[in-house]
Amino acid sequence: MGKASDNERIKLAATFLNNFAVGLGLAGGLIPFILFVQTLDRDEIISFHLSDKNFRIAVTSIGAVLVSLVFRFAADQVLKKIKD
């Protein structure tokens, strides 16, 4: 195969990783964050103390966003393999 087809394969791999990162960021990060905000009690906000459920939701949301960033940076690394 030629250089152009190799570059297309690299672009497809990077696109897959990037789309996976976006999906994980939305499904694993944004949706739990919205649930977290909706289930906060006024007392939790005032006292800065989260219930166990809300704490787990917040940790899950942050973890999903961090993993999403890892996949996004992996996509950048794959794109660096493109040949001129």
Which residue ranges make up each domain of the chain?
3-79
pTM over cut 0.85: no
* The pLDDT value given to residue 27: 92
Query: What letter would DSSP give residue 29?
Result: I
**Cα–Cα nearest to 21, from 76, 78, 80, 65:** 65
User: Residue with structure tokens 């996949």?
Assistant: 71
Q: What is residue 16's predicted lDDT score, i.e. its pLDDT?
A: 97
**Please, what are the averages of pLDDT over each run of 10 residues along the chain (84 residues)?**
90 96 91 82 70 82 93 96 89
